[in-house]
């Protein structure tokens, strides 16, 4: 992907558990519960945390689900485990075959021809535009805010436990807050919209995280107070009256399949603040709400264009 950094957006996401959640460690314990949460060593203690990789998986599958709902049957998102003959086989697999057939697949081509989910979250051919850090306890006075649950009948969670065998889980209880940072670099406006849509659905408690979701585990509420957008190389007076996406920087001659009009126009924007060699705009309150609405609208519109392109290609 581009070596040059043209834009960057980041925000802190607070995740509050509203019911018991379990992000499995994957390690069975010899004594104690059969399933325990992931722990990390921080400030000298073993603390529970939510791994960024797991959160990124949650974000990706939610975006994929929304795209499939917006455009049912269009197969705009690749399926990693689709058969070779399927139209929606994974982007990585398609590129492997094109390379095998002698084509030189640059990262620009892999991006241009990647599905929306791979463009945003990455594929085996390039890293994604978004990164999500590990979420740590906001208040770590209690390093292991957990309780034990009797997991009888939770067999679908494990695939085992026939005959209602007793099964103990150690879960994070309700009311615990975690915080992580979400960062987008060289993003298109629709990608910011996809990510902000996930944060809105987290706010509305529409997304569960971790294991045992079908058994009622994983209820959380997300919240975001402010979003920061930086443009390296721009002076404060050059700060856009909206949001400038990657496509706007690459222009008409883009090799990445981006749109030259990749820009969100907003009625009001916060003043640009000079920080080193870049300008930073911080959106909060009504500014953030307006930006989020515009970005989500752009996401929905681009997905629709994607579908039209896909239909024309058939």
Rule CB under 5 A: say whether 91 interacts with Zn ion: yes
Rule CB under 5 A: say whether 189 interacts with Zn ion: no
- CA distance linking residue 229 with residue 14, whole number of Å: 19
CB of 80 to Zn ion, least distance (A): 8
Q: Which stretch binds Zn ion (CB under 5 A): 42-50, 87-95, 102-110, 296-304?
A: 87-95
Closer CB to Zn ion, residue 67 or residue 169? Answer: 67
Residues 39-78 that bind Zn ion (CB under 5 A): 78
CB of 308 to Zn ion, least distance (A): 18
Q: What's the sign of the alpha-carbon dihedral 31, 36, 40, 46?
A: negative
Give the total of residues touching Zn ion (CB under 5 A).
4
CB of 46 to Zn ion, least distance (A): 37
CB of 5 to Zn ion, least distance (A): 24
- DSSP codes of every residue in 96-143: HHHHHTT----HHHHHHTS-HHHHHHB-SSSB-SEEEPPBEES-TTSS
Q: Which stretch binds Zn ion (CB under 5 A): 63-71, 91-99, 101-109, 296-304?
A: 91-99
- CA distance linking residue 110 with residue 107, whole number of Å: 5
The pairing of beta strand 278-284 with beta strand 220-232: antiparallel
Per DSSP, which regions of 209-312 are E strands? 220-232, 242-244, 263-265, 273-275, 278-284
* Helices within 208-284 (DSSP H only): 246-250
**What 8-state DSSP symbol labels residue 272?**
P
Closer CB to Zn ion, residue 91 or residue 194? Answer: 91
Closer CB to Zn ion, residue 63 or residue 243? Answer: 63
Contact criterion met (CB below 8 Å) for 199 and 132 = no
Closer CB to Zn ion, residue 118 or residue 202? Answer: 118
Rule CB under 5 A: say whether 296 interacts with Zn ion: no
Closer CB to Zn ion, residue 37 or residue 114? Answer: 114
**What 8-state DSSP symbol labels residue 25?**
-
Residues 109-138 that bind Zn ion (CB under 5 A): 115, 118
Contact criterion met (CB below 8 Å) for 7 and 229 = yes
CB of 145 to Zn ion, least distance (A): 37
Closer CB to Zn ion, residue 123 or residue 281? Answer: 123
Chain residues binding Zn ion by CB under 5 A are 78, 91, 115, 118
């Amino acid at each position: 992907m581009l070596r040059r950094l043209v834009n960057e957006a980041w925000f802190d996401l607070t995740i509050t558990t509203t019911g018991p959640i379990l992000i499995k460690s994957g390690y069975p314990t010899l004594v104690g519960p059969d399933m325990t949460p992931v722990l990390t060593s921080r400030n000298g203690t073993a603390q529970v945390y939510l791994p960024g990789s797991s959160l990124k998986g949650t974000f990706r599958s939610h975006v994929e689900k929304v795209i499939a709902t917006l455009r049912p049957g269009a197969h705009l998102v690749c399926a990693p485990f689709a058969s070779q003959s399927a139209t929606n086989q994974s982007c990585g697999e398609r590129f492997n075959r094109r390379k095998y057939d002698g084509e030189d697949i640059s990262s620009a081509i892999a991006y241009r021809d990647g599905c929306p989910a791979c463009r945003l979250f990455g594929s085996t051919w390039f890293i994604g535009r978004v990164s999500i850090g590990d979420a740590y306890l906001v208040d770590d006075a209690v390093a292991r805010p957990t309780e034990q649950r009797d997991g009888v009948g939770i067999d679908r969670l494990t695939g085992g436990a026939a005959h209602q065998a007793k099964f103990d889980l150690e879960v994070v209880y309700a009311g615990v807050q975690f915080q992580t940072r979400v960062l987008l670099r060289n993003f298109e406006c629709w990608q910011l919209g996809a990510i902000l849509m996930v944060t809105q659905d987290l706010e509305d408690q529409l997304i569960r995280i971790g294991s045992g979701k079908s058994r009622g585990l994983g209820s959380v509420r997300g919240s975001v107070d402010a979003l920061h957008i930086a443009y390296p190389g721009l002076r404060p007076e050059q700060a856009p009256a909206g949001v400038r996406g990657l496509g706007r920087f690459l222009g008409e001659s883009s090799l990445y399949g981006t749109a030259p009009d990749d820009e969100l126009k907003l009625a009001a924007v916060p003043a640009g603040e000079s920080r080193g060699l870049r300008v930073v705009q911080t959106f909060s309150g009504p500014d953030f709400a307006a930006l989020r609405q515009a970005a989500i609208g752009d996401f929905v519109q681009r997905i629709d264009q994607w579908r039209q392109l896909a239909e024309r290609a058939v």
